[in-house]
Amino acid sequence: MTTEQLVAQINKKQSFLCIGLDVDLTKIPPQLLETEDPIFEFNKAIIDATHHLAVAYKPNTAFYEAYGIKGWKSLEKTIQYINTHYPEMYTIADAKRGDIGNTSAMYAKAFFEDLGFDSVTVAPYMGKDSVEPFLSFEDKHTIMLALTSNEGAFDFQTKETEGKELYKQVLETSTSWNNASQLMYVVGATKATYFTEIRKIVPDSFLLVPGVGAQGGNLQDVCKYGMNNQVGLLINSSRGIIYASKGTDFAAAAAASALTLQQEMQQILAGRK
């Protein structure tokens, strides 16, 4: 999917919500555990109930790898289900990969070609030649970690590095890479005021923003400081939506929770016109 197509979806749905499909078997309704593929059944129900309220789905690969081959099958079925039934949805493999060039190319092939994701998250530590292989795929985005929403973000990301914080170095440096226009960035919502600084470096890029809700970030603040003229934000919520209820009404509860966020987004979008 191109950036233009993503923006069109946001405008059409009046939503820039991304739903994190981080499925933990200990947290899903117990009756699903009796099905052949509980993870997929859970995702399918969530997707069917929420696709009109969100523009993107983001499975975090850790939650699938933790169940071995069975988990990979669930991931494969999930992305196939989305691509077949809701091709208008933007998909993100939250994999945080990164390796030396030829190896990164293998990861890119796995997520973009074999699984068919629109985008994949990557880690910046190994630099340009670890990220550029992802950027060479047409109409695919590479979403690089910049400033994450966890406490450990302050260990290195905010450390002063040649005159500026490391995450700013990462942002600035990456803008010179081949096909940099295909880059998006992960910026945690827990640090809303940082968005002003970030927008000075990457005014036009989309930012994937985890940390709204469960991790304490505030949607209004993120939008105030982070939104650009084509919205430029994908706000992710995982637990707050998918675990809204552990009963048989889990999908309806997820939809209700997603609707609350979508309505808040619609108001914000209306307010900026």
Hey, which residues are catalytic here? 96
- Closest CA relative to residue 236, chosen from 151, 81, 121: 121
The secondary element (H helix, E strand) that includes residue 185 is: strand 183-187
Q: Which one among 99, 197, 221, 264 touches its own copies, defined by CB under 8 A?
A: 99
Q: Is 66 a binder of its own copies (CB under 8 A)?
A: yes
Q: Which one among 101, 203, 216, 247 touches its own copies, defined by CB under 8 A?
A: 101
What is the C-alpha separation between 83 and 264, in angstroms, rounded? 27
- In the bound complex, what is the minimum distance in angstroms from residue 168's beta carbon to its own copies? 11
The answer to whether the CB of 131 falls within 8 A of the CB of 124 is: yes
- Which span (35-43, 81-89, 154-162, 257-265) binds its own copies, by CB under 8 A? 154-162
- Taking the least distance from each CB to its own copies, the nearer of 150 and 266 is 150
- Closest CA relative to residue 254, chosen from 8, 12, 27, 7: 27
- Which span (3-11, 142-150, 218-226, 243-251) binds its own copies, by CB under 8 A? 142-150
Q: Is 107 a binder of its own copies (CB under 8 A)?
A: yes
Q: Which one among 13, 51, 58, 97 touches its own copies, defined by CB under 8 A?
A: 97
Write out the two tokens for 259. 């609707």
What DSSP state is assigned to residue 212? B
Q: Is 161 a binder of its own copies (CB under 8 A)?
A: yes
Q: How far is C-alpha 156 from the chain's CA centre?
A: 22
Neighbour tally for 113: CB within 10 Å: 11
- Taking the least distance from each CB to its own copies, the nearer of 146 and 219 is 146
Q: Is 149 a binder of its own copies (CB under 8 A)?
A: yes
- In the bound complex, what is the minimum distance in angstroms from residue 9's beta carbon to its own copies? 27
What DSSP state is assigned to residue 60? B
Q: Is 151 a binder of its own copies (CB under 8 A)?
A: yes
Write out the two tokens for 190. 């827990």
- Closest CA relative to residue 126, chosen from 92, 96, 93, 158: 96
- Which span (32-40, 68-76, 229-237, 250-258) binds its own copies, by CB under 8 A? 68-76
The secondary element (H helix, E strand) that includes residue 187 is: strand 183-187
Q: Is 25 a binder of its own copies (CB under 8 A)?
A: no
DSSP letters, 227-273, are -BTTB-EEEEESHHHHTS-SSTTHHHHHHHHHHHHHHHHHHHHHHT-
Q: Which one among 100, 196, 204, 247 touches its own copies, defined by CB under 8 A?
A: 100
Residue 108-137 contact track with its own copies, rule CB under 8 A, x = bound: -xx---xx-------xxxxxxxxx------
- Residues making contact with its own copies (CB under 8 A): 22, 60, 62-63, 65-69, 72-73, 76, 96-101, 103-104, 106-107, 109-110, 114-115, 123-131, 145, 148-157, 159-162, 166, 169-170, 173
